[in-house]
Structure 1
Amino acid sequence: MAESPTILKVRDLRVSYHTYAGEVKAVRGVSFDVERGRAIAIVGESGCGKSVTAKAIMGLIKGPQGEIKQGSEILYNGENILDYTSKQWQAYRGDDCAIIFQDALAALNPTMRVGKQIMENLIAHRHMSKDEAKAEAIEMLRRVGIPEPEKRFKQYPHQFSGGMRQRVMIAIAFACDPDLLICDEPTTALDVTIQSQILDIIKDLQREHDTSVIMITHDLGVVANIAQTIAVMYSGVIVERGTSEDIFYRARHPYTWALIESVPRLDLKNKQELASIPGMPPDLLNPPAGCPFSTRCKYCMAICKEKMPAFTDFGNGHTAACWLHHPMAPKVDMPDHDSPTTVAPAAEAASAATDGAPTEKEVSR
């Protein structure tokens, strides 16, 4: 039987946290696919649910505070990992799936030499002897660009710079040749030069190992450098998904437009203000009934506050959930770096709209 091109399918993922103030609905029905050997980026502002999604895929949502709701599915090679036993989780983490966290200093054990931390994975998952694991750990340090790996093997995390610690995290993640790698903001605290080096290492190892990558980030520069597919996330839901080219040049959701416009540009005039997104994300203790971006969207209509729009399909896997694509919605100019185009109601929008078409009054501003 031929291998499926899709290694991971996330279906209707809903994650809540129970706090003293009530239930925080951090992820609210997220669905996406990860293709074998390819990279998908999940982008959005802080607090939109990106890292919670990553933790759910790694099985790191713990009760009683954290809860993955019934009906959620995370299918790894066709098997729902949410039904795994403790032994299956242990085999899955580190062997089948690995994660690189945002803060390497917090993720690494400060009391253990870095070489031993790489060896732990190799001994547990690949059943190597200590000598074999040591040789492989030194080789992994060399492959991620750490000079004098034999010497560095014996050192502690505090003796490494931020960029070097992140390289150690990459070495640990790739040591057991995982099929799926999750990168949770891996370059956030690093300067631009080091960011580029870290991304190059991840891309090189991904190609070499044919690894599928989920890149969690708020930095669109990182996205353009590594991902073939992008999912734009806001307030616990995915509002748009498509190829990198679709998102950067043919974006169809006002939130995606706002994200792209807020990226600093080299052609800004002296003392010209940077673009920003006004307002605040909604409170997920009491999520809105309609589009979560409606309170910050300059194109907001009455229907936007009442009903969540369905996804409109623009072809080639490019979809967006926005009422602007309904046949009765007014036409608006879509921002474009090359030439302004118009968001005309797509032919597919009529069938994509939710049950009960809105009235003219509902789509009025």
Structure 2
Amino acid sequence: MSNTITPQKASHLLAAFMAANTPVLLTGAPGIGKSSIVEQAAASIGYDIILSHPVVSDPTDAKGLPWPSKDGASATFLPFGDLARAINATRPTLWFLDDLGQASPAVQASYMQLLLARSVNGHKLPDCVTFAAATNRRSDRAGVSGILTPVLSRFGTVIEVEVSVDCWTQWALGAGMPPELISFIRFRPNLLHVFDPTKRSNDMENFPCPRTWAFTGKTLNMALPEDLEFTAIAGAVGEGAAFELRAFLKMYRSNMPSPDKIILDPDNAPIPDRPDMIWAVCSALARKASDSNCGRIFRYAERLHGDGKSEFATLMVKDTTRLHPEVHDTPDWTRLAVSEFGQTFLG
């Protein structure tokens, strides 16, 4: 599909279409973060969100409830629930229809007037309300029967979201995900999303995807006993990915150089040879960075660069600035920017 884009670009595009009051439909595999993209885009431009799940809705939810007049001679449609919230909205608001493709044709059709004419049964939506929707694809075998053609044509654009390791790790850094998990995904990027509906022999086993790795991060933050931790992780991402993560965690927890010791003596601290260990060290250092110690972390990055490990050094500096933008205001950042490594890093 030619209009496949990363989550970060999808968020920027969606925000632009929201500001132009034009509906957007996001498609993609299960668990890749379509709902999070919508939330991020709405937050970026200060929109409230009305979240609807058409798959568990009735057509009257989008049309209003038939209500007789006092004399019983006529009837009108009475808005309720999400429809009433949208009609009465006074602030910029995004009405998000999640998992639209799983809804019945009757429910999908009930949204047609709202999406294009922006009115239904005598009730008009205010100009401050716009729409977005998300769906899996029929090929994902996620209960999607498709989206009615006249409904599809009411969206200003339909874009497919692809998995991006860089976008996921950037999100993970700001979401409190443990550095060992971020390091593991960078070391084994092909495990970020492993979904083939044609090869799933156990329909009760979960699979690796951005959503289930986020659950794994929360599990790691619980500091469970090792046996319970493995059981919980296997239940989140499947046994195969859990075995690989467990092997990585054993290395991380037993052999990784201390980030605190590296910060104390960045000129003499050891530089690991194994890529998985370097990823772990870089993620841990970025998490511990501050405006008072960033100079020592930048010095270690320069040593990584001089040791032929520029990719790791660059990502460590990027992670540091994403997590701690205040380092841009330090003399240490100025020194880094004019250094040989900084010139390469800043391009």
- Shorter-normalised TM range: 0.3 to 0.5
Structure with greater proportional helix content: 2
Structure 1 length as normaliser, TM-score?
A: 0.33
Structure 2 length as normaliser, TM-score?
A: 0.34
